Amino acid sequence: MKNHCPLHKRYDSLCSECKTQASLCNKAYYKTHAEAIKVRVRAYLKTNAVQRHTYEKTRYKTERRQRSLKKFREKLKYDAIFHYSHGTMKCACCSEDNIKFLTIDHPNGGGEAERKRTGHYGNSFYQWLRTMKYPDGYQVLCFNCNLGRECNGGICPHKV
């Protein structure tokens, strides 16, 4: 986009009236009208607070931000799985190694009670594990083994 000269209301790279570069006109205009500009900006910000809030909210959730958060969540899960699998990155029962299927399991049960007590589910659970310096009492299972243990009274279907 070409520079805008607010002093002479032109969208040219050169101001047609004073023949200087438009960006220099912008600076000159601001210097001579700084207080009036500040008053207008404050009034605009005050009257358009709701619209600005909505804009900032949608701007915050940009695609770039989402990609960044996704990488962060993947790293949290990777670090937790790496720690509790002792570096093998496999299910303790069936040796499944696809990280998308791996989950953290409470070997002695009590996962639901802990989630209710701490309020940490999903990604916030991985964040909590990291914050607590990866406490003992967890193991890595694939989702099938984890769910199978729950359905079979603590025994994985692979062990039956």
Q: 81-140 pLDDT, tens per residue?
A: 999 999 999 999 999 999 999 999 988 888 888 888 888 888 999 999 999 999 999 999
What does the angle CA 30 – CA 33 – CA 39 come to, to the nearest 5 degrees? 105
- Alpha-carbon gap, residue 121 to 72, rounded angstroms: 16
Token reading at 47: 């009257």
Task: State the Cα–Cα distance between residues 158 and 160, nearest whole angstrom.
Answer: 6
- Tell which wins on pLDDT, 40 or 158: 40
Say what the pLDDT of residue 23 is: 60
> Which residues face 21 on adjacent strands?
14
Dist. CA 115–CA 50, nearest whole Å: 36
- 157 contacts: CB under 8 Å, gap ≥ 6: 144, 145, 148
pLDDT at 21: 61
Residues 6-62: pLDDT tens digits? 555 554 456 656 666 656 667 777 888 888 888 988 898 888 888 888 877 777 677
What DSSP designation does 103 have? Answer: E
pTM attached to this predicted model: 0.59
Domain boundaries, the chain: 1-60, 64-159
Query: Residue 139: enclosing H or E segment and its boundaries?
Result: strand 139-142
Tell me, what DSSP letter sits at residue 10? B
